[in-house]
């Protein structure tokens, strides 16, 4: 009866249970009128509590160990790549690929809940990263380059979409599968790109501002396309897409109201609170705006970036020293703790089982992904003051992937809109394109330091 509830492995636990039973069975006769029932009831409660504490303890230990391993791996590969002159962000992704090797992953992530926790921290990592970008980037340069950013974002989205659609249609796939394939090739993972720009001290350059702006505009396209896939997958009506502009407008209005409230608060409490409380206010505001953006199905990436822009304006009410220290604190917690989980998670979620399921499809998918973004960006040349070399480099910057397109591909796979080999090609493409841009940017800056403008 005892073993049905819990397996007691240690001598100490066995002694406690025996002592517990002895105390109960030695009770007065009125209390043990039906000793068997009391015995079963009390023993069950005791064992449930005992097992619960042991399971919670093991899970907590597993989580702590996994977090230490993930951060340690990210740090080791980050520093190793930096030492040999290679982009640190690539090192963190490769660190994730190493941890994602099936044998290693099984040993380290024995409890599925630890994977869920790393996924959650990866989401926080990208939120913090885009918040930091919004806090640090030169808003004036963003406004100056807005026209070119819109054109580049459109060109870099439409060309790979068309090329990808035509390629898969030629192979005999359905219309919807071809459309999803092209759409997945057309999106950009802004989080990866901005981290590379930060590492290269190129965020507040002309090209840096254009890449970030174009990436933010691209996020809107991603939301539309993800909504389309979701609607088709669940058998909804395309008329639902008509509500997105309204949702975006409501989000902007509410975010602006929050911004005004926070700005007023900063003006009132300036000098009366310490920097810890101010930093807490920044984080709370960012999470609220990101959650608000996600609620309106715009994606938390847009919300985090908007929160960063608004907080940058609000913090100008503070003393310059306080503003600098808050931005530095955000940078510290973002780059030292939060962001490594995002980049390690990119590699960690790679599925090695389907790596070579269709080599032809894989190679052409990667080629179309690269060519589509670069050609789409170069098409802007007649309407832009940027030279071909700068547009070419921006095209590489728009090539980073690893976020929304994986969500699109996974949703499509689960609803039977694409087959496994197409999904595998898209995942492999995302990893390859993400790994290449840091090398290209590093090389171009080394050859021509003035190229970023």
CATH number of the domain encompassing residue 411: 1.20.1530.20
Check whether residue 46 and residue 126 sit in a common domain. Answer: no
Query: For every one of its 453 residues, what pLDDT tens digit does the chain have, with 9 covering 90 and above?
Result: 333 344 444 444 444 444 444 444 444 443 344 444 434 444 555 555 555 555 666 777 788 999 999 999 999 999 998 888 777 888 888 898 899 888 998 889 888 888 889 989 988 988 898 898 888 877 777 777 778 888 998 899 899 999 999 999 999 998 888 988 998 888 887 767 887 888 888 888 888 888 888 887 777 676 667 666 656 655 655 566 667 778 888 988 999 898 888 888 877 766 666 778 888 888 999 999 999 988 887 778 788 888 988 888 888 877 777 788 888 999 899 989 998 998 888 778 777 776 666 788 989 999 999 999 999 999 998 888 888 889 999 998 888 776 666 667 766 776 788 888 888 788 788 878 878 888 888 888 888 878 877
Q: Is 87 domain-assigned?
A: no
Check whether residue 285 and residue 401 sit in a common domain. Answer: yes
Identify the pLDDT of residue 229: 65
Query: Coil, strand, or helix at residue 298?
Result: coil
Check whether residue 63 and residue 201 sit in a common domain. Answer: no
> Domain range spanning residue 43?
2-67
Tell me the C-alpha distance between 379 and 64, whole Å: 50
Check whether residue 142 and residue 227 sit in a common domain. Answer: yes
DSSP for 393-438, written as a single string = HHHHHTT--SSHHHHHHHHHHHTTSS-HHHHHHHHHHHHHHHHHHH
Q: Is 50 domain-assigned?
A: yes
Residue at a domain's end among 52, 67, 82: 67
Tell me the C-alpha distance between 361 and 261, whole Å: 52
Contact 453, 206 (CB under 8 A): yes
Check whether residue 97 and residue 160 sit in a common domain. Answer: yes
Listed residue (361, 375, 443, 372) closest to 401, CA to CA: 372
Identify the pLDDT of residue 36: 42
Check whether residue 371 and residue 295 sit in a common domain. Answer: yes
By CB atoms closer than 10 A (0-12, 13-18, 19+), residue 314 is: buried
Listed residue (125, 117, 190) closest to 153, CA to CA: 190
Q: Is 214 domain-assigned?
A: yes
Our count of domains for the chain comes to 2
Q: How far is CA 425 from CA 184, 267, 309, 406, in A?
A: 11, 52, 36, 11
Q: Is 74 domain-assigned?
A: no
Q: What's the distance, CA 357 to chain centroid?
A: 27
Q: Is 7 domain-assigned?
A: yes
Identify the pLDDT of residue 48: 53
Tell me the C-alpha distance between 204 and 250, whole Å: 30
Tell me the C-alpha distance between 312 and 339, whole Å: 20
Check whether residue 167 and residue 215 sit in a common domain. Answer: yes
Check whether residue 35 and residue 120 sit in a common domain. Answer: no
Query: Would you give the DSSP letter of residue 334?
Result: I
Check whether residue 61 and residue 144 sit in a common domain. Answer: no
With vertex at residue 115, the alpha carbon angle to CA 114 and CA 121, rounded to the nearest 5 degrees, is: 90
Check whether residue 99 and residue 63 sit in a common domain. Answer: no
Identify the pLDDT of residue 89: 80
Q: How far is CA 107 from CA 66, 68, 94, 302, in A?
A: 10, 15, 18, 36
Identify the pLDDT of residue 198: 83
Q: Is 86 domain-assigned?
A: no
Q: Is 270 domain-assigned?
A: yes
Residue at a domain's end among 67, 100, 124: 67
With vertex at residue 199, the alpha carbon angle to CA 195 and CA 202, rounded to the nearest 5 degrees, is: 90
Identify the pLDDT of residue 347: 76
Residue at a domain's end among 67, 84, 100: 67
Tell me the C-alpha distance between 262 and 282, whole Å: 9
Check whether residue 180 and residue 269 sit in a common domain. Answer: yes
Query: Would you give the DSSP letter of residue 19?
Result: H
Check whether residue 297 and residue 348 sit in a common domain. Answer: yes
Q: How far is CA 125 from CA 35, 41, 173, in A?
A: 56, 47, 37
Q: Is 78 domain-assigned?
A: no
For 105, residues 6+ apart whose C-beta sits below 8 A from its C-beta are 99, 348
């Amino acid at each position: 009866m005892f073993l049905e509830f819990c397996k007691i492995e240690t001598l100490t636990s066995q002694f406690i249970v025996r002592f517990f039973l002895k105390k109960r069975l030695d009770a007065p006769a009125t209390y043990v009128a039906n000793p068997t029932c009391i015995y079963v009831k009390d023993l069950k409660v005791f064992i449930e509590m005992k097992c619960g504490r042991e399971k919670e303890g093991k899970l907590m230990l597993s989580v702590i160990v996994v977090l230490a391993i993930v951060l340690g791996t990210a740090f080791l590969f980050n520093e190793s790549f930096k030492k040999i002159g290679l982009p640190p962000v690539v090192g963190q992704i490769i660190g994730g690929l190493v941890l994602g090797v099936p044998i290693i992953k099984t040993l380290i992530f024995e409890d599925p809940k630890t994977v869920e926790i790393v996924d959650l921290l990866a989401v926080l990592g990208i939120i913090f990263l885009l918040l930091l970008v919004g806090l640090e980037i030169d808003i004036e340069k963003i406004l100056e380059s807005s026209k070119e950013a819109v054109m580049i974002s459109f060109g870099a989205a439409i060309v790979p979409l068309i090329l990808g659609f035509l390629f898969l249609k030629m192979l005999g796939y359905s219309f919807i599968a071809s459309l999803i394939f092209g759409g997945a090739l057309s999106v950009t993972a802004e989080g990866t790109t901005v981290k590379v720009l930060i590492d290269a001290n190129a965020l507040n350059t002309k090209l840096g501002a254009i890449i970030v702006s174009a990436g933010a505009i691209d996020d809107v396209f991603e939301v539309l396309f993800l909504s389309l896939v979701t609607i088709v997958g669940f058998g909804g009506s395309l008329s639902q897409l008509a509500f997105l502009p309204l949702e975006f407008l409501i989000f902007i209005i509410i975010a602006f109201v929050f911004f005004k409230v926070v700005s007023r608060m900063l003006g009132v409490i300036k000098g009366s609170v310490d920097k810890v409380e101010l930093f807490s206010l920044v984080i709370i505001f960012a999470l609220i705006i990101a959650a608000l953006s996600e609620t309106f199905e715009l994606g938390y990436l847009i919300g985090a970036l908007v929160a960063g822009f608004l907080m940058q304006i609000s913090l100008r009410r503070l003393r310059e020293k306080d503003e600098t220290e808050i931005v530095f604190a955000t940078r510290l917690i973002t780059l030292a703790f939060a962001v490594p989980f995002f980049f390690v998670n990119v590699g960690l979620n790679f599925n090695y089982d389907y790596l070579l399921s269709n080599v032809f499809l894989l190679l052409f998918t990667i080629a179309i992904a690269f060519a589509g973004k670069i050609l789409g960006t170069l098409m802007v040349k007649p309407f832009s003051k940027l030279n071909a070399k700068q547009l070419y480099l921006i095209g590489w910057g728009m090539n980073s992937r690893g976020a929304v397109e994986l969500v699109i591909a996974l949703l499509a796979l689960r609803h039977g809109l694409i087959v496994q080999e197409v999904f595998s090609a898209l995942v492999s493409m995302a990893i390859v394109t993400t790994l290449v841009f840091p090398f290209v940017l590093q090389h171009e800056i080394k050859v021509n330091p003035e190229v970023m403008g």
